[in-house]
C-alpha cells in the first residue's frame, strides 16, 4: 500500500483555517479549499512510487482488481476530498450519465476547446457526490416545496418579487419551479441586481430562516443566484451526517468541513453565485424540477463496526470506522481498491501510522489490517 501526499487546492471560497487545524499545521493566510485524494489528472496523489495515476496506469488490473477494471475501465472511478468551505460555493447541478455523454459528444463535434470558459462538459461522465460532515456543515440541496418558498419570498415584503410569489403558488409545481428559475436567470441584470440588494437587506433585517441567504448575498452582492438559492432547502448537517447529491439536483455548500466523494468527473452546470459562465438553456435541460426533502443520511452500522453511507452509485462507496481505545485489529482487506483517510486520533494501517489528514491507497486484494484509536474513512467501489 502507498501513503499519499495530496494536493490542497486554494479556491477562493476555501476556509483559511479548517484544513490546517485538522492537519495540525500553521495556516498560511490563504484559502485551503480542497485536499484531493485519488488519481484525477488535475492533481493526482503522489507516492514514493510516482503519482497514483502513474501507478494505476502501469498495471490497472493489479491495482484496481479485475472486477473494477471490467466495470469502470482502467481508471480509479472516484475522487475523495477533504472539503473546507469558508464561503458559499457556486450554485450548481450535475448531469446524469446519458446527458454527460450527449453533451460531451456535442461540444467535441462543435470543436469547443476543453479549456474554453463557456465549455460545459469536460468529460463524458456523470458526477454524483456525497459529503459527510466533520464539523457543523451548511448547504443547500434540492428544491423546497414551492408554496413554502412563496411564503419565504412574500415575507420579504418586496414588490418586485410578487410575480415570483404568484408563480410559486400556481400548479403544477414542476412548471412553477421551472418558470421562476428561468425568470430569475434571464431577467434584466440591472433590475435583478436592485431586487437582490433589496432582498439581501430584508434577509439581514429579518434573520432566522433568512439568515443563510443574507450571508450568501454578503459574498455575492447583486447576484441573481441569491434568489435562486432561496428556492432551495437549507440543510445543516451535524458531524457524521451526510448529503447525497444525485444528477439534476441543484445544490451549493455554504460553510463547514467535510469528507466528500464523487465520481471522477468535472462536469458542472452553474446556476449562479459565480463569475463563471452560466449556460441557462443547458442548465434548464439538466435540472430536475422536483420539490423534495434533501434526505440527510446517517451511516448504517454493520456487525464488524463499519458504518456505511448507502447511496445508489456504483463508482463509489463511503464508510467509516470509529475505533475506540483497545479495539482489536480489524481486517479491511477487499477485492476492490481503497483509499483510507484518518480524520481523528491515530490509526495504524499496515506499516503506516495515520494522524488526521493522513491517507493511504490500498490496491485490490492487498492484506489490510487497521488498529489504534480514532476515526477512519474508507472509500472504495461497488462491483
69: its cell numbers: 477494471
Other beta carbons less than 10 A from residue 162's beta carbon: 12
Which residue in the list 270, 317, 320, 378 is annotated as catalytic? 270
Task: Check residue 123 and report its DSSP letter.
Answer: S
Helix runs in the chain, H state only: 18-23, 52-58, 60-64, 66-72, 97-109, 146-154, 162-168, 173-186, 189-206, 211-219, 225-229, 280-286
Q: How far apart are CA 246 and CA 115, in angstroms?
A: 25
**Half-sphere exposure in the Cβ direction for 363 (13 Å, CA):** 16
| CB contact at 8 A, 95 and 286 | yes
Partners of 91 in beta bridges? 272
Whether 270 is a known active-site residue: answer: yes
| CB contact at 8 A, 95 and 47 | no
Q: How far apart are CA 201 and CA 210, in angstroms?
A: 10
Q: How far apart are CA 94 and CA 100, in angstroms?
A: 9
* Residues involved in catalysis: 270
Amino acid at each position: 500500500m502507498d501513503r499519499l501526499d495530496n494536493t490542497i487546492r486554494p479556491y477562493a471560497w476555501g476556509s483559511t483555517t479548517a484544513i490546517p487545524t485538522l492537519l495540525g499545521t500553521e495556516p498560511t493566510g490563504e484559502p485551503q479549499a480542497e485536499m484531493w485524494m485519488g488519481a484525477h489528472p488535475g492533481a493526482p496523489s503522489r507516492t514514493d512510487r510516482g503519482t497514483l495515476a502513474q501507478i494505476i496506469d502501469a498495471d490497472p488490473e493489479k491495482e484496481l482488481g479485475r472486477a473494477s477494471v471490467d466495470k469502470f475501465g482502467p481508471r480509479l472511478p472516484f475522487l475523495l476530498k477533504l472539503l473546507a468551505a469558508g464561503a458559499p460555493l457556486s450554485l450548481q447541478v450535475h448531469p446524469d450519465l446519458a446527458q454527460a455523454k450527449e453533451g460531451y459528444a456535442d461540444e467535441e463535434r462543435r470543436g469547443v476547446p476543453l479549456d474554453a470558459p463557456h465549455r460545459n462538459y469536460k468529460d463524458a461522465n456523470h458526477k454524483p457526490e456525497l459529503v459527510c460532515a466533520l464539523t457543523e456543515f451548511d448547504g443547500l440541496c434540492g428544491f423546497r416545496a414551492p408554496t413554502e418558498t412563496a411564503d419565504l419570498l412574500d415575507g420579504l415584503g418586496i414588490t418586485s418579487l410578487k410575480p415570483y410569489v404568484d408563480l410559486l403558488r400556481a400548479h403544477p409545481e414542476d412548471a412553477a419551479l421551472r418558470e421562476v428559475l428561468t425568470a430569475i436567470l434571464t431577467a434584466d441584470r440591472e433590475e435583478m441586481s436592485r431586487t437582490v440588494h433589496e432582498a439581501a437587506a430584508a434577509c439581514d433585517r429579518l434573520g432566522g430562516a433568512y439568515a443563510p441567504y443574507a450571508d450568501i448575498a454578503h459574498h455575492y452582492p447583486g447576484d441573481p443566484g441569491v434568489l435562486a438559492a432561496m428556492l432551495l432547502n437549507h440543510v445543516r448537517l451535524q458531524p457524521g451526517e451526510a448529503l447525497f447529491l444525485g444528477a439534476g439536483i441543484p445544490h451549493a455548500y455554504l460553510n463547514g468541513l467535510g469528507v466528500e466523494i464523487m465520481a471522477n468527473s468535472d462536469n458542472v452546470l452553474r446556476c449562479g453565485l459565480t463569475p463563471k459562465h452560466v449556460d441557462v438553456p443547458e442548465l434548464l435541460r439538466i435540472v430536475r424540477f422536483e420539490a423534495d426533502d434533501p434526505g440527510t443520511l446517517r451511516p448504517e452500522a454493520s456487525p464488524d463496526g463499519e458504518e456505511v453511507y448507502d447511496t445508489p452509485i456504483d463508482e463509489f462507496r463511503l464508510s467509516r470506522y470509529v475505533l475506540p481505545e483497545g479495539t482489536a485489529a480489524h481486517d479491511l482487506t477487499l477485492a476492490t481498491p481503497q483509499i483510507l483517510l484518518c480524520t481523528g486520533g491515530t490509526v495504524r494501517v499496515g506499516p503506516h501510522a495515520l494522524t488526521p489528514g493522513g491517507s493511504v491507497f490500498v490496491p485490490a486484494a492487498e492484506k489490510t489490517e487497521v488498529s489504534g484509536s480514532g476515526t477512519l474513512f474508507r472509500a472504495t467501489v461497488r462491483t
